Amino acid sequence: MIPTLTVLMLWKSFMLCTNCQSPIAFMTEDVNATSLRRGDLLLVTNYVQDSFRADDLILLNIENEKYFVAGRIVTVSKQNDAGITITYQSVCSQTGECPSKESFIEKKDIIGKIRGRLPYIGLLIIWFKGYFLYGCIIYIIFTGIQREDNTDRRNTNRL
């Protein structure tokens, strides 16, 4: 119970420090327009004093999408308190063309700016989500090995 509370407190602390509902996200697919790859762990912030400029990487929460969408801002047309009108690229075709979408995005739809990435760390999370049963079996094996190792140490200390 204590580790669960510790993780929860760390997550809430990250949320407060970054002013973002999801300060850590990971990419589930390659996005050529943003140079982000599958499995990259993204560090996201949403500070009030930040303004959006061209070439910024942003994380969006679009209503029709199941997951967050990462995109690169091409141009910023208008910016006010209600939202921002931007042209962004999120998906490139196989031929390398990156179509731009111009849309008005409300402030509530913007998760934040992507400040950094840690490559390939999210692959483990993606693998466990895709192969949940295998992940459980590996977890049971590792915890069994750890318990067996601890019992051997206890028995040698008694002699």
* Residues 6-28 pLDDT 10s: 888 999 999 999 999 889 988 88
> HSE on the CB side for 46, CA within 13 Å?
18
Higher pLDDT, 44 or 81: 44
Spatial distance between the Cα atoms of 129 and 107, rounded to a whole number of angstroms: 30
Average pLDDT, the chain: 77
Which CATH class for the 2-119 domain?
A: mainly beta
* Residues 73-123 pLDDT 10s: 877 777 776 677 776 766 554 455 556 666 777 777 888 999 998 888 888
Spatial distance between the Cα atoms of 36 and 110, rounded to a whole number of angstroms: 18
Structure confidence at residue 13 (pLDDT): 93
Pairing of strands 41-45, 110-118: antiparallel
Structure confidence at residue 9 (pLDDT): 92
